[in-house]
Chain A
């Protein structure tokens, strides 16, 4: 393992946008596939992110939606159960909150808010706990069980935005504007990293998912702090990057990591890369 920092020429020549570019491409591409049906009559995928049918064959259903429906007292049909099983298996492989980073359309909204906040140098004051989302998830499931209706779906900005784009927007933009302004002015990364119960559900899958960002070359870290600055969930980086010896291994195991890969992009020392969650012991030699 090379502990010296990388030569400056190599640092300069790096393109720092690879994963961000691929991520935007994926987000827009998936949205495009959904829009191709209603706009061009090419039905590759029907429905929306809550539940859909790919090529008239493959059902996909959002686990959080299925959870709400089940808790409301209605046992869904096989199609939805199978759809959720497929989605869960997929995200257990690629990382639970990879949904948030790579698929969810609200991510573009909140990333835009984060970008504008940086540009304007805003420092929002509110610091809600990052566990709020789990409390909210619990509360909503209890309320769903009590009322028998999926209460969150009346306001869920995620399904609202995606459904709005495909089936007609109505006043959904009000909710989206609220999320944008909340992230811009009230709480830094407020929505996706603190409140969203849908992301919280996906994060539970992330606790065991295979593909993870690894900091195998953490010895090269020169403490520039760029990764912490760009990360929507910076608390997940700390143990993997700063662990030594018998401490935490180099795999980012935090279940809230969205596998967005922005840390890989911005690190001049190329500390991070995508890998699996296995072999999370530090090499004995160092």
Chain B
């Protein structure tokens, strides 16, 4: 026994006990890493939002939000209109996070924004104090072929129901070529004011809404960074940026000839 104890003091090949211990540590660490890696793979794969799902007002950008939200549902509870819901397991939204589907229930844009106030972590940004500054998404008149106004009728429901009436959706007057004598009032969504509340999509009288609220990243285009709009630059400069440009005649469509 005493000899054995002495042996363990001598540096040399690891004792069976130590080898067993190291083996277990390595196995455990590898197992945990594998499991954790698998979970991460699943989580990153299952974190894409379907286009119809919208986040509550004040939401941080999606990636930050998925780290900041603790999925407690306090925003859901404080929503007076039961608009919000927490994603259940099996639904296509990141599990446990709050969302709403505009076509089902739209955001009523409460002035005191109770959902943002309820958020304990700031995943819904408390700096949002004016609901008109919310950007939950962006309404897009996605199907001009079925929109009644585009067909030359006067529906206007989305225009009328818009909480920012006359600002977020404006009616642009256009000639109705079909009848030749009437006008068409075409909805135009202005991205500078639209909050993405979804009232227009919820109210659209069609079986399937012609106007839909999409995530801003999906709905908005972006000019090339180097782009400069000539007429804006000209206005800023107060004169044409290039002098002595020859103004060529404009070619007009449908046999109008040159003007």
A21 within 8 A of B: no
Which one of A43-51, A93-101, A213-221 is at the B interface? A43-51
Q: Which residues of A contact B95 (CB under 8 A)?
A: 153-154, 160, 170
Given the interface pairs A69-B70, A148-B64, the reply to whether A136 lies near B32 with Cβ below 8 Å is yes
The answer to whether A47 touches B123, judged by C-beta atoms less than 8 angstroms apart, is no
B86 on the A face (CB < 8 A) = yes
Q: A197 CB to closest chain B CB, in angstroms?
A: 9
Given contacts A143-B36, A170-B88, contact A59 B120 (CB under 8 A): yes
The answer to the question of B35 belonging to the interface, with a C-beta cut-off of 8 Å to chain A, is: yes
Known: A135-B29, A135-B33, A143-B39. A163 touches B121 (CB 8 A): no
Q: In the complex, A160 Cα to B96 Cα: how many Å?
A: 8
Instruction: Please determine whether A140 and B67 come into contact, CB atoms closer than 8 angstroms.
Output: no
Question: Are the CB atoms of A143 and B70 closer together than 8 Å?
Answer: no
Query: Could you tell me the distance in whole angstroms from the C-beta of A199 to the nearest C-beta in chain B?
Result: 14
Tell me if A74 and B123 are in contact (CB < 8 A): yes
Number of interface residues of A (CB under 8 A): 60
Determine the residue in chain B with the shortest Cβ distance to A169.
B88
- Give Cα distance in the complex from A142 to B40, angstroms: 10
Q: Write the nearest CB–CB distance from B49 to chain A, whole angstroms.
A: 13
What residues on A are CB-neighbors of B74 within 8 Å?
Answer: 46-47, 51-53
Task: Name B86-144 residues within 8 Å CB distance of A.
Answer: 86-91, 94-96, 118-123, 126
Bound Cα distance A51, B31 (Å): 30
> A136: shortest Cβ distance to chain B, in Å?
4
Question: Shortest beta-carbon distance, B132 to chain A, in Å?
Answer: 23
Of residues 32 through 49 on chain A, the ones whose CB sits less than 8 Å from some CB of chain B are 37, 43, 46-48
- Specify the chain B residue showing the minimal Cβ separation from A51: B72
Contacts of B39 in A (CB 8 A): 140, 143, 151-152, 154-155
Bound Cα distance from A53 to B32, whole angstroms = 34
Q: Is A107 an interface residue (CB 8 A)?
A: no
Q: What is the size category of the interface that chain B forms with chain A?
A: 35 or more
Asked if B37 CB lies within 8 Å of chain A CBs, one says yes
Cβ A79 vs Cβ B64 within 8 A: no
How distant is the Cα of A285 from the Cα of B126 in the complex, in angstroms?
63
Q: How many Å lie between the Cα of A224 and that of B202 in the bound state?
A: 68
Residue of B nearest to A148 (CB): B67
Binary contact track B37-81/A, C-beta < 8 Å → 1, others 0: 101101110110000000000001001101111111110111000
Contact A136 B63 (CB under 8 A): no
Is B233 part of the binding interface, using a Cβ–Cβ cutoff of 8 Å? Answer: no
Query: In the complex, which residues of chain B have a beta carbon less than 8 angstroms from the beta carbon of A10?
Result: none
For the complex formed, measure the closest distance between the CB of A177 and the CB atoms of chain B, giving whole angstroms.
12
How distant is the Cα of A247 from the Cα of B30 in the complex, in angstroms?
35
Among the stretches A23-31, A117-125, A126-134, A264-272, the one at the interface with B is A126-134
Q: Which residues of B contact A69 (CB under 8 A)?
A: 67-68, 70, 121
CA gap between A61 and B74 in the complex, in Å: 12
Q: Which positions in A face B, CB cutoff 8 Å?
A: 37, 43, 46-48, 50-53, 59, 61-62, 65-66, 68-69, 72-77, 79-80, 83, 128-129, 131-132, 135-136, 138-140, 142-144, 146-155, 159-160, 163-164, 166-172, 174-175
Additional A-B contacts beyond A73-B67, A155-B39 (4; CB < 8 A): A51-B120, A76-B121, A139-B32, A143-B39
Can you name 19 A-B pairs with beta carbons within 8 Å?
A47-B72, A48-B71, A48-B73, A51-B74, A51-B121, A53-B118, A66-B121, A74-B60, A74-B67, A76-B121, A128-B31, A147-B44, A148-B66, A150-B69, A153-B43, A159-B71, A160-B89, A160-B96, A170-B91
